[in-house]
A and B are shown apart, each in its own frame.
Chain A
Amino acid sequence: QVQLQESGPGLVKPSQTLSLTCTVSGGSITSDNYYWSWIRQPAGKGLEWIGRIYTSEIGRVYTSGNTNYNPSLKSRVTISVGTSKSQFSLKLNSVTAADTAVYYCARGSDAFDIWGHGTMVTVSS
């Protein structure tokens, strides 16, 4: 079955760029017409949707990059598909302590049926 796994640095310095990758096993991000999302959760707080990406592949034609972002983060966020069609990534630039959170990748755009375990990212000098 499809499984998701987040990876990336656990510590990022203020003003730098947070970069995470989500690896999809047991499936492909270009199949089955799914969106793929990033969601975060600061310690002791609620969930915050970061953004989503949609890709598709028909025959050998690969279409990537239909993205939507949280308006409050839009100026700092980029979600993209990796060269491997089993990965998608998150980049969040100009980070501050307020970006410290557990970051999850998930399948879906408004109903998230499969989640990664989450990865803790701390923003600190």
Chain B
Amino acid sequence: QSALTQPRSVSGSPGQSVTISCTGTSSDVGGYNYVSWYQQDPGKAPKLIIYDVIKRPSGVPDRFSGSKSGNTASLTISGLQAEDEADYYCCSYAGTYTLFGGGTKLTVL
């Protein structure tokens, strides 16, 4: 199995929206509604921000939203803030195992 495919980097200005894609196959992203997203600051453990494709844990701002179409899931961050600058990882259930994406570095200009 290969890691899910994410862009290496994305950027946006404060107030703008950015979308990070996560492409897999019909055996993982496309086959289950079990995609999650994580935000990771340097030197810290990842933080869950989206699960089950579209759900937000308590305390996560509604500026973060998830979606999926076919074998590609997406994370959209609207109203970009400086504190959103971090690494973002997608993750998908794949039956007997779980896959992560390679990660995307978000830069707030």
A71 to chain B: closest CB distance in Å?
Answer: 6
Chain A positions within 8 Å of B, measured between CB atoms, are 37, 39, 46-49, 52, 68-72, 104, 109-113, 115-118
Given contacts A46-B102, A69-B97, A70-B97, contact A112 B57 (CB under 8 A): no
A119 vs B3: C-alpha distance when bound (angstroms): 23
Enumerate chain B residues within 8 angstroms of A48, measured Cβ to Cβ: 100
Contact with A along B24-63 (1 / 0, CB 8 A): 0000000010101010000001111001100001000000
Given contacts A47-B103, A112-B36, A115-B45, contact A37 B98 (CB under 8 A): yes
Contact with A along B66-109 (1 / 0, CB 8 A): 00000000000000000000000101110011111111000000
A39 vs B91: C-alpha distance when bound (angstroms): 12
A48 vs B47: C-alpha distance when bound (angstroms): 15
Contact B103 A46 (CB under 8 A): yes
A19 vs B38: C-alpha distance when bound (angstroms): 26
Contact A116 B45 (CB under 8 A): yes
Number of interface residues of B (CB under 8 A): 25
Contact A46 B57 (CB under 8 A): no
Enumerate chain A residues within 8 angstroms of B34, measured Cβ to Cβ: 110-111
A44 to chain B: closest CB distance in Å?
Answer: 10
Contact A104 B45 (CB under 8 A): yes
Contact A68 B97 (CB under 8 A): yes
Contact B100 A71 (CB under 8 A): no
A54 to chain B: closest CB distance in Å?
Answer: 12
Enumerate chain B residues within 8 angstroms of A104, measured Cβ to Cβ: 45-46
Of A46, A48, A49, most buried by chain B (CB within 10 Å of CB) is: A46
Closest 4 CB pairs of A and B: A111-B51, A110-B93, A115-B45, A111-B36
Can you offer 29 A-B residue contacts whose CB atoms are under 8 A?
A37-B98, A39-B100, A46-B89, A47-B38, A47-B103, A48-B100, A49-B97, A49-B98, A49-B99, A49-B100, A52-B98, A68-B96, A69-B97, A70-B97, A104-B46, A110-B32, A110-B98, A111-B34, A111-B48, A111-B52, A112-B36, A112-B38, A112-B46, A112-B48, A113-B51, A113-B57, A115-B47, A116-B45, A117-B45
